[in-house]
Amino acid sequence: MHILRKDTIQKILKKLDLVPLIEKGFIAYSQGRSIVPPVGELTFKNPPGDVHIKYGYILGESYYVIKIASGFWENDKYGIPNGQGMMLVFDQNTGEPKAILLDEAILTDIRTAIAGQICAQKFANDIHHIGVLGTGLQARMQVEYLSSVTKCRDVIAWGRNIEKVEKYKIDMKKIGFSVAMAKSTQELAEQCNIIITTTASMDPLLFYEDILPGTHITAMGSDVIGKRELGTGMLGMADLIIADSISQCQERGEIAYALSNNDISHKQIIELGDVLSGTHPGRKNTKQITIADLTGVAVQDIQIATAVFEYYLEHKNEI
């Protein structure tokens, strides 16, 4: 069995084109060509945090993957990243363990950012201002991964902690983005036609009356039951509602709240993989408001872990 540590994984990632692989994973999922059981999770209150266990396989492929990833929001007190974790790779035909990817959650971070990039590519109009709720790692990565999608480098950010917003502005300037601080989420929404929500909020932050026509929203913070970033009526006013996984979003994320409040019906939800395969046309005009609810699907983990491991097997003498 092979053990790949973070530094080795990072070297390999520079060699991979992951976007088409992640897209293929979403398509396989929506076409019923994968086995993905319900998410396993642990939640903690003191200190606050959560652990996700996601696992599965794509039919006919070589491996099945089990991913364990955590987020503990007070880790900065100890000088360590909020996210931690690993991915385990097994032979799909024999069950033999093949690799442990000790990635410290960077593979989860990257595949999450790529999903946001894919949604922006498919659903956003010509972007004039990028709105970001939050100041953490995904608030950085989601914007960074928009670089290949849009020429826009103007970001408007909102966060509860002004010091963290100021640090965010400095960090984003280093990679070519100019950041202005919004005093409220309303102010942000009134200026941005793509909004990315990346917080661990338990209460709504963004409200439908503030959203510009033609806006695309990627909501990816509410990935466990109890988290919520979008206010009542947000999905009800959307012209297009996209789930990375309909079954997952029925029990967690923004879609789950909208369904329980009868803001939307099941028939209004489409799956990302169906847009990527061409089964659904996606956005039809520039005035539509689109919302993508990303809760994270195991096929993303399967695809990125497989790509890293297979590259390692082929090039291990060079790494």
Query: Residue 288: its pLDDT value, please?
Result: 98
Query: Residue 29: its pLDDT value, please?
Result: 98
CA-nearest of 73, 82, 69, 64 to 41 is 69
- pLDDT tens digits, one per residue of 143-156: 999 999 999 999 99
Task: Domain 123-296: give its CATH architecture.
Answer: 3-Layer(aba) Sandwich (3.40)
Query: Residue 82: its pLDDT value, please?
Result: 86
Which band of pLDDT confidence, cut at 50, 70 and 90, is reported for residue 225? Answer: confident
Residues 6+ apart with CB under 8 A from 5: 102
- pLDDT tens digits, one per residue of 288-299: 999 999 999 999
Burial grade of 116 (CB within 10 A; 0-12, 13-18, 19 or more) = buried
Decide: 294 and 50 in contact? Cβ < 8 Å. Answer: no
The least confident of 79-83, 96-100, 129-133, 229-233 is 79-83
- The whole-chain average pLDDT of the chain stands at 96
Query: Residue 26: its pLDDT value, please?
Result: 98
Percent of the residues in the chain that have a pLDDT greater than 70, as a whole number: 100
pTM above 0.85, yes or no: yes
Query: Residue 165: its pLDDT value, please?
Result: 97
Enumerate the domain spans of the chain: 2-107+299-315, 123-296
- pLDDT tens digits, one per residue of 41-51: 999 999 999 99
Which band of pLDDT confidence, cut at 50, 70 and 90, is reported for residue 76? Answer: confident
- What is the number of other CB atoms lying within 10 angstroms of the CB of residue 96? 9
Q: Span 171-178, mean pLDDT?
A: 98
Matching CATH number, 2-107+299-315, of 3.40.50.410, 3.40.50.11860, 1.20.1090.10, 3.30.1780.10: 3.30.1780.10
Which band of pLDDT confidence, cut at 50, 70 and 90, is reported for residue 317? Answer: confident
Q: Which two tokens stand for residue 313?
A: 């097997």
- Asked if the model's pLDDT at residue 319 lies above 90, the reply is no
- Asked if the model's pLDDT at residue 87 lies above 90, the reply is yes
- Asked if the model's pLDDT at residue 160 lies above 90, the reply is yes
Reading phi first (left if > 0) and then psi (alpha if -120 to 50, else beta), residue 84 is in: beta
Radius of gyration, CA atoms only, the chain: 19
Query: Residue 141: its pLDDT value, please?
Result: 98
Distance CA 292, CA 276 (A): 13
Which band of pLDDT confidence, cut at 50, 70 and 90, is reported for residue 19? Answer: very high
Query: What is the β-pairing status of strands 290-293 and 40-45?
Result: unpaired
- pLDDT tens digits, one per residue of 244-296: 999 999 999 999 999 999 999 999 999 999 999 999 999 999 999 999 999 99
